[in-house]
Homo-oligomer: A and B are copies of this chain.
Amino acid sequence: MESIKIFAPATIANVSCGFDVLGLALDTVGDEMIIRKTSTKGIKITKIIGQDLPLETHKNVAGVAGLALLSELQSNSGFEIEIYKNIKPGSGIGSSAASSAGAVWAMNKLLGNPFNTTQLVKFAMEGERLASGVAHADNVAPALFGGFTLVRSTDPLEIVKIHTPDQLYATVIHPQIEVKTSDAREILKSNVTLKDAITQWANVGGLISGLYTEDYELIGRSLHDTIVEPIRSILIPAFDAVKSNAIKSGALGCGISGSGPSIFALSKGLETAQKVAASMESVYENVGIDFDIHVSKINQQGIKIL
């Protein structure tokens, strides 16, 4: 096997109560990439279709993540990468994570799997560091593991894959405005009240319990964020109206995807997720804001060979 074509999924980080630790992978939204072994040492990004992103290896998240893998392996291997970008950078659904995770996953495959998935997360985090200044794992972990993931610890890195019920669907709406991850981080307060923190970890506990027991109502009751959403939602136009419509249309919960501006909702079943999509769309249609919208089952598998 000298070349593979893969699907690298979009991801939702934080998932309301799980700021910085929880994430999930989408099934119908993601980038496609072709990764090819070559005789020239190093990584060459040969083509990027769909977005205007740097081809220079050191400036490209897939390149940087790939170099981290090669450096650890002390390998003389060489790879060419083509990226067919379907996830818009800055949308809040893990655009950089998909490219970073896709590159290292495919390279590992072509090299005969020298690394386990947690090690791949570590390499892909170097792409995240380039993209946002912080080597966070909450998007690359679900992209690589699939399903819901928990970053239990960053040092040492430990990712826990959480059981994900089969009827869980995500609706994601992306209003066409820009919120930089770095800006969205800066407005956060460095201290929180103990009371709010307790509420948050009670909900993390409830959400994870609901995922294991496939208790959709418990999942819904736990999808609250008392700490980050009240601050970051200010940066997202009509957030309250979109969320309120989603809940009224039957969504289990609704919140900010990653650092925004995308807003996600989780629903039980495709039909509800589609109704939720229509209700979220209507808000931006009424105020005249352009948007993309996606409805997707939770991706249980992560990156796939096409």
Contacts and interface: CB of A to CB of B under 8 A. Distances in A.
Interface string A186-226: 00111111110110111111101100110000100110000
A147 to B, nearest CB: 12
A151 interface: yes
Given A201-B204, A204-B201, A209-B150, A190 B193 contact: yes
A142 interface: no
A152 B204 CA distance: 9
B153 A198 contact: no
A17 B201 contact: yes
A206 B160 contact: yes
Q: How many copies does the complex hold?
A: 2
Interface string A130-168: 000000000000000000001111000010101100000
A22 interface: yes
A206 to B, nearest CB: 4
Given A201-B21, A205-B205, A221 B188 contact: no
A160 B215 CA distance: 11
A20 interface: yes
B163 A202 contact: no
Contact of A188 (B21, B153, B188, B194): B194
Given A190-B194, A192-B191, A198-B20, A153 B221 contact: yes
A256 to B, nearest CB: 16
Interface of A: 17-22, 150-153, 158, 160, 162-163, 188-195, 197-198, 200-206, 208-209, 212-213, 218, 221-222, 227
19 contacts: A18-B201, A18-B205, A19-B201, A20-B202, A21-B198, A150-B205, A150-B206, A152-B203, A152-B206, A152-B221, A160-B205, A160-B209, A163-B212, A189-B194, A197-B200, A200-B201, A201-B204, A205-B208, A212-B212
